[in-house]
Structure 1
Amino acid sequence: MLSIIEKIKQGQLWDFHGGIHPAENKVISTRNAIQQAGLPSELVLPLKQHIGGKGDILVTVGQSVLKGQPLTQGNIAMCVPIHAPTSGKIVAIEPRTVAHPSGLTDLCIVIETDGNDQWLDNREPITDFLNEDPIDLIERIRQSGISGMGGAGFPTSRKLQSGVGKADILIINAAECEPYITADDRLMQDYASEIVTGIKILQHILTPKLVIIAIEDNKPDAIKALNAEVSEHDNILIRVIPTKYPSGSSRQLVKILTGKEVPANGRSTDIGVIMQNVGTIFAVKRAICNAEPLIERVVTLTGNSIDNPGNYWVRLGTNVQYLMDIVGYKADKKHPRIIMGGSLMGFTLPHQQIPITKITNCIITPDRKELPLYNHEMACIRCSSCADACPSSLLPQQLYWYAKSEEFDKCEEYNLSDCIECGACAYVCPSEIPLVQYYRQAKSEIYARKQDALSADRAKVRFEEKNARMERDKLERENKFKLAAENRRKEMKAEKPDGSGNDAIAAAIARVKAQKAAEKSGVATPKPAVAAAIARAKAKQAEAAKANSDEPDNSEMMKLREERKQQARERKAKLAAETNDSEATPAGSTDKKDAVAAAIARAKARKATQAEETTETSTEPNIETQGSEEKVDPKKAAVAAAIARAKARKTAQAEETTEASTEADIEIQEPEEKVDPKKAAVAAAIARAKARKAAQAEETTEASTEANIEIQEPEEKVDLKKAAVAAAIARAKARKAAQAEETTEASTEADIETQEPEEKVDPKKAAVAAAIARAKARKAAQENNNKEE
């Protein structure tokens, strides 16, 4: 049985399903050789002109560049750079409309040409490529920015890398089956020898068993030119195939030449075949042998609306408007159209400011008769003409229904991805349904959904990895804390061999548990300072008990009392300063309402004091009537008596001091000076307030005295009952003196407060009355003190 290569050498060909024979319209543009389109004043270079990612920009606005200078760079296999097509200045890096059916914008580099067309100085051509490493040649091809120029734009270097050691057959695609396009035909006629040199470079890189140049039989001049350049020992076979659309498609051409089917969702390299376009082969030759990056290409300009159709060398980035000007474009009056690409696979441009890219091979300017507009889509009549014409053996009718109803799962089930968008189905459709548009939209939606699903999967993986990492960190921290606690426990055991260290740890754990339990139950925990003081006191008491000591250590309590006394003294000084400020204010700044409010506050305070005294009075008889058999703590009785006597003495002394200063102020007043009665009443109230504050401050001092008394040992025996009775009598006398004074003050204040504003009061009489009231209070206090002594 003959092998595939032997069958190919014997001239055997195969056929693919479907296909159409539209009008070719190629003769219009093949009459003349390839011409130079010239240099426009501005070039717009999109960063992405191929399948894959964009490169990183190497230039800035305002920078001058030379012809062939790299403008971008990329270090990944699916990224190729772009180069400056001529010398000039970078005037903008901004979004511009690009060559795409959507008419959307993309980031572009705009060059203002200088007309010098000056090349870089460091170009290094490779004259003997047969002695070069294939890997170095592939890298040179990548750095030259070469991608597939037949329409797809797949990076050439990536395709060559995937075919090294795998490709048995190298196919040069020179079919150019789509109507109107003649760029490859004219390139083979004019540059046949350079194309053969490019084929030999790929032979050196891939080392295939056979090279086939596939060309349709409607290109006799190109076939003749290639036969003149190919010799028998080059292992290059020129195979002429029947004219049929779309025989130039990669899958269909492989089937015609080898009889093999490219697997779905696969590539030709999977079956040992690699394919390159004629234009790509020419660009490879220029990159290796001439050190010229891909900066220009052949573009077919054709159609009935231009005067000079033909093929032109066009710099990449040249806008369509410039090309239309040089070929004499005359737009149709009713339906002006400019189509980029072929008549079946091309798309209408939104305007003429669209740049030429690496995959642009044709510009068509048809009139209404040449390519009629199909704007009236009708219902599908299920004629199955689309299925008969489909070269991929699909069911276009079913795909159309599913795409229209957005049943994308069904579209994938019916192998929508195998559609090559050749347009044969739409060409034969009697209902004039734009089937390819539906397929493109469905493909875009499916791709977007897959990308979203991939993003969601990646996010899920990241989330799970994050949780796992946090769990690991948590376990590491716990182990670290456990190890640290174990080390501390060992150190404490080493420091305290008696085992008390374990008790301290257990106590700390118990305190933490108790605190957590209190927080859960809602019970308020003591303040840290109070808790610390209590803890210290308990510790000292425990130490005292352990040492069998009868005298408790009250040093902590003494410190707290000293702090309270200091705070009381500061408050007293602040109050005195505020009182002096209030006395220095003008008489007109006070009014009757303030005096009434002060009187109400004092009355409330007196009521609270009286209620407390009533409670104490009810307690005193119980003390006085206790029998001698009842055991009374002599220390407590002595302390109570001392406190009562101290309170009475301090109150009397404070009042005497305040009244004496007030009388002195009254006596030094001139008789002719008029005294405001309200001021006198306020002065008296202030004096009483000072006395009370002094008493409160002294109580703090007495509290500290109590502690000193409590820790003293009773050196003499005291009659318990007498001491208790004496203390009760002293307290009662002090209360009576205070009540008598308050009664007098209340009556005086009431008289002052209830006076009508119109009533005239003798100021001197008011001052004398206040002095008399204070003198009576002092006498009563002195009598009480004499009796107690």
Structure 2
Amino acid sequence: MKQLFRGGIHPNDGKALSRGGAPVPMPAPSRVIIPMSQHIGAPCSPLVKVGDTVKLGQKIGDGEGVCSPVHASVSGTVAAVEQLPIPGGRQAVCVVIDSDGKDTPDPAIKPRASHKGLSPAELAAIVREAGICGMGGAAYPTNSKILSTAGKTETLLINACECEPYITSDDMVMCTWPEKVILGARILADVIGAKHTVIAVEDNKPEAIEALRAKAEGQEDIEIRALPTRYPQGAKKQLILAVTGKEVAPGARTGALFNVTTVYSICRAVYEGLPITEKVVTVTGEGANEPKNVIVRVGTPIEQVLDFAGGVKEETCKVVCGGPMMGVAQGNLAVPVVKGTNALLCLTDPAPAAEDPACIRCGKCMDACPMGLQPLNLYRYVNCGDKEELGRLNLEDCMECGCCAYVCPGRLPLVETFKAGKKLLKEGKR
């Protein structure tokens, strides 16, 4: 198939390190830390207090507006409700639960026999109560997306590209539970009224493609489409362009596009009644002793996940939440796994810093930018604080994919600079 989106790169994908074998369930920790803010939108308010007894899957946080409830990932007793560090260097109100070791399920968890007859509002309510948000890392509440796309699209697009190097959690979800991915796609398509469903998978995942096609056999309206491997194939606008040939205008919404693990989670919420209490996390990198995918309870401290997966090598210099292109280095390994955690990348080779970084105007960053921006000029205008030029050159369209920094021979801190530039523009609008 012709590659349709502009730019992009072919970094070493590193996926062979953790690919293969079903995800390994990690025993529940003795204590979990459940942040009230794990999604885009308003943070939840705690529904429990210190000393309360909670059940596995019980809703312990909720809020108004664009919000995704959070649930207890163990049964036990609330030990604290306090501000604590969370991934990304931030702090949030967290509910700390001491496990009783029983995993007693919340009686509100009830499976359904069928999704037939569900209205968009009813499915959105189920998805909201399950705490499902974008599981590919975006963490936008999925119920809002269901309501905004119902009856407005003929094509449902499921993002199964997982283009970020090293990460294989989506891949292993597809290989291990392909029937639930297909059923989740069927639920969404039936309820929002889509006539055609495309599950887009990069062609470096042949086992996942084969597994999905086998489970989708006989369902003519569900297509498993293999796309050429190229980063960032899984970015929303690039994926829509590659699949449909249609370019999404700046600022426009991307419509009926859902991450594959989100779709899997929808299936579990509808047919098993299960909220988000666990996540498949890839533990990988040259610094990981035993790279693998692990099924982790939300709220498990990162350091415990690393220990369960075999620990890290002595030469490990950095642990990144996410992948090497868009992940965030994590200085505090006591922070918990959250809904959007898809990988823990253990690095042994520190990225060399340029002694005197300077732009040589080679233009490689412009060739690599999948958004067609001018990184070399944006870098200059951020540094001189020219908000007018930053607006004219569409800095806010930058998705911080890291392609420009990857190809820059001067090793300029482009992504960090663009993040600072966006803050500058945001402050100017206040």
Fold shared per TM-score above 0.5: yes
Partner of 1:56: 45
Say whether residues 1:251 and 2:233 are aligned partners.
no
Any idea what SS the aligned residue of 2:276 has? coil
| Post-superposition offset of 1:405 | 1.6
Distance change in 2, residues 1:33/1:373 (3 Å): farther
Distance 1:257 1:298 in 2: 27
Superposition pairs of residues 279-294 of structure 1, within 5 angstroms: 279-294=261-276
> Which residue identity lines up with residue 32 of structure 2 in the other structure?
L
Distance change in 2, residues 1:377/1:240 (3 Å): farther
The structure having more radius of gyration, on CA atoms, is 1
Whether the 8 Å contact between 1:13 and 1:259 is mirrored in structure 2 is: no
Superposition pairs of residues 353-752 of structure 1, within 5 angstroms: 353-368=334-349, 372-374=351-353, 376=355, 378-450=357-429, 453=430
Distance 1:135 1:318 in 2: 33
Partner of 1:227: 213
Say whether residues 1:313 and 2:301 are aligned partners.
no
- Deviation string 1:465-499 (CA, Å, 9 cap, x unpaired) is xxxxxxxxxxxxxxxxxxxxxxxxxxxxxxxxxxx
- Which of 30, 36, 52 aligns to 1:41? It is 30
- Deviation string 1:729-756 (CA, Å, 9 cap, x unpaired) is xxxxxxxxxxxxxxxxxxxxxxxxxxxx
Distance 2:26 2:422 in 1: 37
Whether the 8 Å contact between 2:3 and 2:228 is mirrored in structure 1 is: no
Any idea what SS the aligned residue of 1:121 has? coil
Whether the 8 Å contact between 1:45 and 1:355 is mirrored in structure 2 is: yes
Distance 1:147 1:72 in 2: 14
Whether the 8 Å contact between 2:189 and 2:195 is mirrored in structure 1 is: no
| Post-superposition offset of 1:305 | 1.8
- Which of 226, 239, 243 aligns to 1:240? It is 226
- Deviation string 1:500-525 (CA, Å, 9 cap, x unpaired) is xxxxxxxxxxxxxxxxxxxxxxxxxx
Say whether residues 1:131 and 2:112 are aligned partners.
no
Distance change in 2, residues 1:88/1:234 (3 Å): farther
- Deviation string 1:438-464 (CA, Å, 9 cap, x unpaired) is 1111112322332xx3xxxxxxxxxxx
Partner of 1:98: 86
| Post-superposition offset of 1:384 | 0.5
Whether the 8 Å contact between 1:94 and 1:107 is mirrored in structure 2 is: yes
List runs of 5+ in structure 2 lacking aligned partners: none
Whether the 8 Å contact between 2:199 and 2:224 is mirrored in structure 1 is: yes
Whether the 8 Å contact between 1:339 and 1:364 is mirrored in structure 2 is: yes
Superposition pairs of residues 141-156 of structure 1, within 5 angstroms: 141-156=127-142
Distance 2:336 2:279 in 1: 13
Distance change in 2, residues 1:426/1:62 (3 Å): same
Partner of 1:669: none
- Deviation string 1:682-714 (CA, Å, 9 cap, x unpaired) is xxxxxxxxxxxxxxxxxxxxxxxxxxxxxxxxx
Distance 1:55 1:447 in 2: 24
- Deviation string 1:288-342 (CA, Å, 9 cap, x unpaired) is 1101001111100001222221101111111111012112323545x62111100
Whether the 8 Å contact between 1:377 and 1:432 is mirrored in structure 2 is: no
> Which residue identity lines up with residue 407 of structure 1 in the other structure?
D
Whether the 8 Å contact between 1:14 and 1:259 is mirrored in structure 2 is: no
- Deviation string 1:380-425 (CA, Å, 9 cap, x unpaired) is 1111100000000000011111111222232121101111110000
Identical aligned residues as a percent: 38
Whether the 8 Å contact between 1:377 and 1:433 is mirrored in structure 2 is: no
Whether the 8 Å contact between 1:33 and 1:186 is mirrored in structure 2 is: yes
| Post-superposition offset of 1:75 | 3.6
Distance 1:35 1:375 in 2: 40
User: RMSD of aligned C-alpha atoms?
Assistant: 1.4
Say whether residues 1:80 and 2:64 are aligned partners.
no
> Which residue identity lines up with residue 352 of structure 1 in the other structure?
L
| Post-superposition offset of 1:375 | 5.4
Distance 1:354 1:377 in 2: 34
Distance 2:387 2:138 in 1: 24
Whether the 8 Å contact between 1:49 and 1:153 is mirrored in structure 2 is: yes
Partner of 1:346: 327
- Deviation string 1:587-626 (CA, Å, 9 cap, x unpaired) is xxxxxxxxxxxxxxxxxxxxxxxxxxxxxxxxxxxxxxxx
Distance 1:375 1:113 in 2: 48
Distance 2:51 2:354 in 1: 47
Any idea what SS the aligned residue of 2:145 has? helix
Distance 2:273 2:354 in 1: 48
| Post-superposition offset of 1:178 | 1.1
Say whether residues 1:304 and 2:286 are aligned partners.
yes
Aligned length: 430
> Which residue identity lines up with residue 134 of structure 1 in the other structure?
P
List runs of 5+ in structure 1 lacking aligned partners: 1-11, 454-789
- Deviation string 1:354-394 (CA, Å, 9 cap, x unpaired) is 211111111011212xx634354511111110000000000
**Higher relative contact order, structure no. (Cα contacts within 8 Å, ≥ 6 residues apart):** 2
Whether the 8 Å contact between 1:319 and 1:355 is mirrored in structure 2 is: yes
Distance change in 2, residues 1:61/1:445 (3 Å): farther
Partner of 1:717: none
Decide which structure has greater strand share.
2
Distance 1:373 1:107 in 2: 36
Any idea what SS the aligned residue of 2:318 has? coil
